[in-house]
Amino acid sequence: MNTKSLVSISDIGRDEILRLLDIAGRFEENPNRRLLEGKVVATLFFEPSTRTRLSFETAVNRLGGRVIGFSDANTTSSSKGETLKDTIKMVSNYVDLIVMRHYLEGAARYASEVTDVPIINAGDGANQHPSQTMLDLYSIYKTQGTLENLTITLVGDLKYGRTVHSLIMAMRYFNPTFRFVACEELGMPKEYKIFCDENGIRYSEHRDFSSEVIDSSDIIYMTRVQRERFADIMEYERVKDLYNLNNSMLTGARDNMRILHPLPRVNEIAQDVDDNPHAYYFEQARNGLYARQAIICRALGIDA
Ligand code: CP
């Protein structure tokens, strides 16, 4: 794998995470710098996206680079049976960097093994979403002033939610305490609980999204129950509305507590929360631009 690829959040360690957060801060001060002059970036989205694709493309545009790519694989030759390997090798002929979202877990790792062009994983199935994690870490750092010793409550679809999986792995360096709030069917997979045990990360599991949990959290990270991951639609219908956050549940929250959500939301956060001072999910999405500018520069070896 190209060492500048970002396939899993575990590809980067504590020092590099902190360095990228620092660079993201500089991009927030000035996102318009012509650091990518002459560079072409491909965005290959085999799954739908709003924020990830548009923020990556905005990041490239604001840095003076060019973007090619697709947001609907049905319009490409993969619909004629072209393999992922051939697609990646072909696109590698044209560009300096590939940003790819794919529905198969491990697709980004595979892509990184068939090309010398750096690959940024923009989400592979239920596995990983490392650029989301960088913007989540940036959002946590901005709102809490630190990444250390925080109590983070993850709520909703913890089974298929790739953003929460990546976040747990990244937070291993910062002594977090996690609460996992989910129903039995969507609980945190065993492998991530083993990861917590092996890395000395404290966690507890909850079925109830109780006031005790909310009032003792620094971060509440809501997630959508992802219909597209369910083989059985009846199963989805049964669990989709189990965890909903509304304003009346926030009266005892800590002043510093912020609500994050990778978005899109369906109804797991009521609209009335949007104007609550604890809500931070729209700002979080904006932070994606700066975090992704930092990630792109890392991938291309550009000193930012
Ligand atoms: N958070 C996130 O990945 O959003 P999109 O699916 O809209 O890219």
pLDDT at residue number 152: 98
Percentage of the chain lying above the pLDDT 70 cut: 99
**DSSP labels, 102-128:** ESSTTHHHHHHHS-SS-EEEEEETTTB
pLDDT in tens, 182-208: 999 899 999 999 999 999 999 999 999
Q: Are strands 97-102 and 151-155 parallel, antiparallel or unpaired?
A: unpaired
pLDDT in tens, 119-171: 999 999 989 999 999 999 999 999 999 999 999 999 999 999 989 999 999 99
Q: What residue spans of the chain are helical by DSSP H?
A: 14-29, 51-62, 84-92, 107-113, 130-144, 162-171, 190-198, 211-215, 233-239, 281-299
pLDDT at residue number 238: 85
- Whether 121 is in the pocket of ligand 1, judged by its Cβ within 6 Å, is no
pTM over 0.75: yes
Q: Is the pLDDT of residue 21 over 70?
A: yes
In whole angstroms, give the CA distance from residue 271 to residue 16. 36
pLDDT at residue number 229: 82
- Whether 285 is in the pocket of ligand 1, judged by its Cβ within 6 Å, is no
> Chain-wide mean pLDDT for the chain?
96
What is the enclosing helix (H) or strand (E) of 157? none
Q: Give the confidence band of 226 by pLDDT, cuts at 50, 70, 90.
A: confident
Q: Is the pLDDT of residue 3 over 80?
A: no
Q: Is the pLDDT of residue 236 over 90?
A: no
Burial of 216 (0-12, 13-18, 19+ CB in 10 A): middle
What residues contact residue 15 under an 8 Å CB cut-off, 6+ apart? none
In whole angstroms, give the CA distance from residue 131 to residue 95. 20
Q: Are the C-beta atoms of 201 and 178 separated by less than 8 Å?
A: yes
Q: Classify each residue of 191-214 as buried b or exposed e, where b means 16 or more C-beta atoms within 10 Å of its C-beta.
A: ebbebbeeeebebeeeeebeeebb
pLDDT at residue number 19: 97
The residue written with tokens 């892509």 in the block is: 111
Which ligand 1 atom minimizes the distance to the CA of 263?
A: 1
pLDDT at residue number 2: 63
pLDDT in tens, 92-115: 999 999 999 999 999 999 999 999
- Whether 292 is in the pocket of ligand 1, judged by its Cβ within 6 Å, is no
Which ligand 1 atom minimizes the distance to the CA of 50?
A: 7
Q: How far is the CA of 161 from the centre of ligand 1 (A)?
A: 12
Q: Is the pLDDT of residue 48 over 70?
A: yes
Which ligand 1 atom minimizes the distance to the CA of 48?
A: 6
- Whether 261 is in the pocket of ligand 1, judged by its Cβ within 6 Å, is no
| Separation in Å, CA 44 to CA 39, 47, 119 | 16, 9, 10
Q: Is the pLDDT of residue 1 over 60?
A: no
pLDDT at residue number 83: 97
Q: Are the C-beta atoms of 250 and 230 separated by less than 8 Å?
A: no
In whole angstroms, give the CA distance from residue 293 to residue 135. 11
The residue written with tokens 């909903």 in the block is: 244
Q: Give, using CA atoms, the residue closest to atom 5 of ligand 1.
A: 49
Q: Which residues are catalytic?
A: 51-52, 80, 101, 129
pLDDT at residue number 143: 98
Q: Is the pLDDT of residue 30 over 90?
A: yes
State mean pLDDT over 241-265: 96
pLDDT in tens, 255-270: 999 999 999 999 999 9
Q: Give, using CA atoms, the residue closest to atom 4 of ligand 1.
A: 51
pLDDT at residue number 255: 98
Q: How far is the CA of 50 from the centre of ligand 1 (A)?
A: 6
